Amino acid sequence: MTYHLPALPYDYAALEPYIDQTTMKLHHDRHHQTYVNNLNQALENYPAAANWSLEQLLTNWEDLPDKIATAVRNSGGGHANHSFFWETLTPEFDQALPSNLQAALEETFGSVAEFKRQFSTAAASVFGSGWAWLVHDEDGQLLITTTANQDSPLMLDQQPLLGLDVWEHAYYLKYQNQRPAYIEAFWHVINWGKVAERFEQSN
C-alpha cells in the first residue's frame, strides 16, 4: 500500500488567529509529508505488508522486521497522528459539545471544565515532543493519556478520540515557548462533532 498526504479540510489560514497560516502550511506540507515519504520508503522492501492498513501496521509494528519496525513506529505513527489531528480541527470556532459526549465527559471527569483542566495539564506536562489524548481504552473507559514522539494510542489498543500535537513544530512560530497559550487556543478550534462521532464509533 502506498500512503498519501491527505488534503487539509480547510484553508491554511482558516484557523487564525488561533493557529497561524505559516505554521499550518509547514506542519502539513513539510512535516506530515516527510512522515508519509519515510513510511512509504520503509515499506518498499517489505511486500508482506503491502495490503496492511495503517492501523494494522501500528498495532503490529513490534512484529515487523527490525529493519523497518522503528520507521513504521515513527513515520507510520506520525502519518496516523497528523491525519487524525487535521480532522480534529475546524474553522467553526467554539463549537458546543454534542450531548452524548458532554454526558460521557461529565460522568468520567465530573465536569467538562475538569476534563479540560486535566487534558491541558497533561498536554503541558509532556516532556519534549509528543501528544496528549482523550482515548477509549480496551475496557471502554475514557482516559486522558500522553504519548512520546509520534507514538499512537493504537499501539496500546486504545482508540483515540481527541489528540493535541505538542511538538514545537505545531506552535513555535506563533507561541514560541508558551505551550500553555497554544493549548488554550486549541480549545477554540476543536471539531467536537468529529470527536463525538469517534466516541460513538468506539463504543
Binding residue positions? 27, 82, 165, 169
Q: Can you read off the three cell numbers belonging to residue 88?
A: 480534529
* Euclidean distance between CA atoms 127 and 129, whole angstroms: 6
Annotated binding site for Mn(2+): 27, 82, 165, 169
Closest CA to 55 of 24, 77, 40: 77
